[in-house]
């Protein structure tokens, strides 16, 4: 059987690093399996109202989620062992009578009513030697090519194996393989799919492999490079560079770049993919104010695609409702953010943004195996815009310390053929998080 293109070299390289460290240094003292353990709980109350105008169809759901995460320390010795565990419970507070489908509760069985509750649990075995950590089981992943979605009532997780190394100052080297995902609005696991591609019945990718490195060795400067293979669908590569320069104590400048290249591979279950997508941003910070201008470009006749329900879209114009990632799309964004600590209200932050994009949907392939729905004969100059408002308050002290209330509004409108792709939409979210550190 052919070995995945990145999996074996990754573990050979990291294993060599472990061996070299074993010869050069003694293992750092471990805090102990029990002494280093922690238990954290988060209660998230989530309301979402999504109004699609052309369909006269509101998706309105309200739920209460509970997430518990236990992390042990490591056993003593050169090689330490430990275990992590998580449990999730979602309760429906409202979401029936045809208003289901907002994405925070499970998909209904056809009667317009989501189930009253859903739950899942998982565990991870872990091993640490020197600066290298190996995990196998249910994983919380967060990198540019495979990141679990955190924007709903409960988080998305993956089932597989990961390896990370911090041998060199300012460097992270990581990689692994995930075969299944636990969606954020379902119990149980399924194969990993994509956000914008439609797989045919019976088609599925067996796993996703990834390897990458992130560097932060110079103050204010970060950069990362990642590669992934979603078996029989795509190879995807990512690079970013971000720099924050403090002009003085009041003013800062922050330019940044994100680049993705996606190419079909193997059986090409979503058809031909040859997509280059990038975004550029420049932020000026003055005291508690900041203004950001961003430009994003998709070069390819398919949309820029990423893991289903995931947050692995590290692009500047990915907004609350739209990602501005359609075929051949060019988009720009202006954003203003303010921290109310300047008015004596610490913990209160806000942001307002406006984004506009233009697509050429006539170049999408109507015979594409996975992206045919993007074709529109009237979409030569399809356009849409989105306005986003975000207001968040985090309690700073007292018995409710760290309790967070977040209000989000998004309005998306389209024209020139864009309406065949998506509906004019208004979306409102109210999110309350109450995290607790038990020990």
Residue 370's nearest CA partner among 327, 419, 423, 313 is: 327
Q: Which residues, 6+ apart, have CB-to-CB distance to 32 below 8 Å? A: 73, 74, 75, 76
Residue 211 CA to residue 12 CA, distance in Å, equals 12
pLDDT at position 15, please?
45
Whole-number pLDDT of residue 112: 62
Spell out the residues 6+ positions from residue 223 whose beta carbon is closer than 8 angstroms to its own. 214, 215, 239, 240, 241, 242
- Specify which residues 256 forms β-bridges with: 242, 281
Number of neighbours of residue 97 by Cβ within 10 angstroms:
10
Give, rounded to a whole angstrom, the gap between the first and last alpha carbons of the chain.
46
Question: Which run of H or of E encompasses 225?
Answer: strand 221-230
Which of the residues in the chain have pLDDT under 70? 1-30, 56, 96-99, 108-112
Q: What per-residue confidence (pLDDT) applies to 95?
A: 78
Pick the closest to residue 176 from 221, 155, 145, 149 (CA basis): 145
Residue range 251-278, pLDDT digits in tens? 999 999 999 999 999 999 999 999 999 9
**What pLDDT score does 12 carry?**
45
> CA 384, 194, 370: angle at the middle one, nearest 5?
80
Using CA atoms, how far apart are residues 205 and 370, in angstroms rounded to an integer? 13
Both structure tokens of 161? 């194996």
Strand partners, 95: none
The domain ranges of the chain are 7-437
Tell me which H or E stretch contains 428.
strand 425-437
pLDDT tens across 405-435, in order?
A: 999 999 999 988 887 788 899 999 999 999 9
Fold of 7-437: Porin (2.40.160)
280 DSSP β-pair partners: 257, 295
In this prediction, residue 421 carries a pLDDT of 80
Nearest CA among 202, 204, 211, 200 for reference residue 235: 211
Identify the H or E element spanning 11.
Answer: helix 7-24
Return the residue matching tokens 């209330």: 405
Q: Is 122 helix (H, G, I), strand (E, B) or coil?
A: strand
Residues 6 or more apart whose CB falls under 8 angstroms from that of 110 comprise none
CA 153 to chain centre: 14
Q: What is the pLDDT of residue 98?
A: 64
Cβ atoms of 354 and 385 within 8 Å: the answer is yes
Contacts for 17 with CB less than 8 Å, ≥ 6 apart: 131, 132, 165, 167, 173
265 phi and psi, to 5 degrees? -150, 160
Lookup: tokens for 99: 């208003």
Residue 97 pLDDT: 62
**140 close to 156: Cβ distance less than 8 angstroms:** no
Res 417: pLDDT: 85
**What is the phi/psi pair of residue 135, to 5°?**
-130, 145
Nearest residue to 351 (alpha-carbon basis) of 374, 398, 319 = 319
Query: Are β-strands 171-182 and 157-165 bridged in parallel, bridged antiparallel, or unpaired?
Result: antiparallel
């Amino acid at each position: 059987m052919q070995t995945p293109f990145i999996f074996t070299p990754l573990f050979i390289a990291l294993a060599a690093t472990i061996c070299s460290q074993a010869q050069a240094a003694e293992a750092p003292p471990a805090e102990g399996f029990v002494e280093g353990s922690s238990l954290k709980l988060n209660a998230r109350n989530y309301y979402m109202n999504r109004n699609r105008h052309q369909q006269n169809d509101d998706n309105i759901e309200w739920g209460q989620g509970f997430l518990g995460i236990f992390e042990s320390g490591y056993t003593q010795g050169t090689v330490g062992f430990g275990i992590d565990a998580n449990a999730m419970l979602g309760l429906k507070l409202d979401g029936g009578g045809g208003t289901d489908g907002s994405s925070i509760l499970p998909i209904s069985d056809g009667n317009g009513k989501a189930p009253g509750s859903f739950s899942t649990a998982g565990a991870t075995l872990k091993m640490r030697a020197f600066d290298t950590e190996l995990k196998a089981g249910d994983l919380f992943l967060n990198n540019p090519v495979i990141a679990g979605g955190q924007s709903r009532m409960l988080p998305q997780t993956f089932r597989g194996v990961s390896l990370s190394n911090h041998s060199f100052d300012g460097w992270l080297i990581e990689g692994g393989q995930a075969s299944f995902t636990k969606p954020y609005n379902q119990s149980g696991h399924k194969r990993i799919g994509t956000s914008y591609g439609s797989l045919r019945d019976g088609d599925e990718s067996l796993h996703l492999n990834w390897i990458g490195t992130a560097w932060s060795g110079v103050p204010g400067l970060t950069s990362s490079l990642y590669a992934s293979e979603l078996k029989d669908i795509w190879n995807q590569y990512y690079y970013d560079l971000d720099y924050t320069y403090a002009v003085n104590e009041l003013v800062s400048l922050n330019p940044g770049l994100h680049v993705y290249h996606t190419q079909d591979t193997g059986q090409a279950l979503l058809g031909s993919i040859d997509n280059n997508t990038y975004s550029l941003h420049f932020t000026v910070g003055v005291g508690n104010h900041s203004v950001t201008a961003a430009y994003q470009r998709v070069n390819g006749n398919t949309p820029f695609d990423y893991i289903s329900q995931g947050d692995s879209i590290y692009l500047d114009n990915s907004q609350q409702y739209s990602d501005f990632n359609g075929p051949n799309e060019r988009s720009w964004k202006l954003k203003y953010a303010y921290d109310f600590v300047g008015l004596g209200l610490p913990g209160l932050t806000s942001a307002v943004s406006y984004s506009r994009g233009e697509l050429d949907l006539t170049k999408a392939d109507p015979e594409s195996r996975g992206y045919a729905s993007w074709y529109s004969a009237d979409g030569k100059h399809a356009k849409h815009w989105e306005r986003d408002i975000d207001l968040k308050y985090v309690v700073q002290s007292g018995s409710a310390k760290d309790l967070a209330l977040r209000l989000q509004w998004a309005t998306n409108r389209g024209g020139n053929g864009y309406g065949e792709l998506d509906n004019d939409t208004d979306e409102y979210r109210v999110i309350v998080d109450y995290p607790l550190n038990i020990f």
